[in-house]
């Protein structure tokens, strides 16, 4: 797996909290034009998936990703955005033979025994946590639409940002609180890259740097981007992913 010199030809994209497979609509055709087999999915309870948030678990997230990974014979470049960094990490733990490379895009990159909630980035002066509000949907929270565009998409075209805000859904509470188990022999053996977004208002740049600093075996790439470069700079993100897939 990690010793292969063949270029990666399959890319699996996993969205973050409150988002869905829709968020990759600008990026996917650019990657397909470069010859990649691109697979996207809605995590349970998000996007167009009908699962009630109160019934969603972290294991459900992971199972949905592992199912996609097992749907093709060749290993994939597996990308997790934001909250999606947790479930892609566990998916690589459960099925390392299916993952040629892990890419964290402005994402949580946990250590063994952590959860998304335990990282407590909400204590930083500026983060997406400050836009969270209670939801009328049982077992979920949501991002206030009045602030979501500025936090997630401030470098996107305003029309694109409005469209994205309209697509956000309540985020299940359960998966965010669950502990993530990882091992050096499985998740630890998969090559990893972290794409830091320097203009991010959702996961602060200093938080992204801290995540990288404590994981010295993770290579870093940098984008002068907001939290959603797949909308604000899809060509730039496609170029980085193409480079990473070719240098596997």
In this prediction, residue 248 carries a pLDDT of 64
136, 148, 243: which is closest to 201 by C-alpha? 148
Q: Where are the domains of the chain?
A: 10-246
Residue-level pLDDT at 118: 85
Neighbours of 150 (CB within 10 A): 14
If DSSP codes are grouped into helix, strand and coil, which group holds residue 60?
A: helix
Spatial distance between the Cα atoms of 46 and 170, rounded to a whole number of angstroms: 8
Question: What are the Cα distances from residue 136, in Å, to 4, 46, 172?
Answer: 49, 15, 12
- How far apart, in whole angstroms, are the C-alpha atoms of residue 79 and residue 194? 10
Dmax (CA) for the chain in angstroms is: 50
| pTM, 2 dp | 0.95
CA–CA distance, 77 with 211 (Å, rounded to integer): 20
The reported pLDDT for the residue numbered 2 is: 42
Block means of pLDDT (10 residues each) for the chain, 248 residues, are 68 98 98 98 98 97 98 98 97 98 97 86 65 91 94 97 97 95 97 97 93 94 98 98 92
Q: What is the CATH architecture assignment of 10-246?
A: 3-Layer(aba) Sandwich (3.40)
């Amino acid at each position: 797996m990690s010793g292969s010199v063949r270029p990666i030809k399959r890319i699996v994209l996993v969205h973050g909290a409150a988002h869905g497979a829709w968020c990759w609509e600008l990026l996917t055709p650019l990657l397909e034009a470069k010859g990649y087999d691109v697979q996207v999915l809605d995590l349970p309870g998000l996007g167009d998936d009908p699962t009630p948030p109160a019934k969603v678990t972290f294991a459900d997230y992971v199972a949905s990703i592992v199912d996609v990974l097992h749907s093709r014979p060749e290993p994939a470049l597996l990308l997790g955005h934001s909250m999606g960094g947790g479930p892609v990490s566990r998916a690589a733990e459960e099925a390392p033979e299916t993952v040629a490379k892990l890419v964290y895009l402005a994402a949580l990159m946990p250590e063994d025994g952590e959860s998304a909630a335990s990282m407590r980035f909400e204590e930083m002066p500026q983060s997406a946590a400050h836009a969270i509000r209670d939801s009328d949907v049982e077992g979920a929270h949501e991002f206030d639409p009045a602030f979501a565009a500025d936090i997630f998409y401030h470098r996107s075209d305003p029309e694109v940002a409005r469209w994205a805000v309209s697509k956000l859904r309540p985020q299940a509470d359960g998966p965010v609180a669950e502990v993530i188990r990882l091992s050096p022999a499985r998740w630890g053996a998969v090559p990893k890259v972290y794409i830091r977004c320097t203009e991010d208002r959702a996961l602060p740049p200093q938080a992204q740097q801290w995540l990288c600093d404590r994981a010295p075996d993770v290579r870093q790439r940098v984008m002068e981007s907001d939290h959603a470069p797949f909308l604000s700079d899809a060509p730039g993100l496609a170029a980085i992913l193409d480079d990473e897939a070719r240098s596997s």
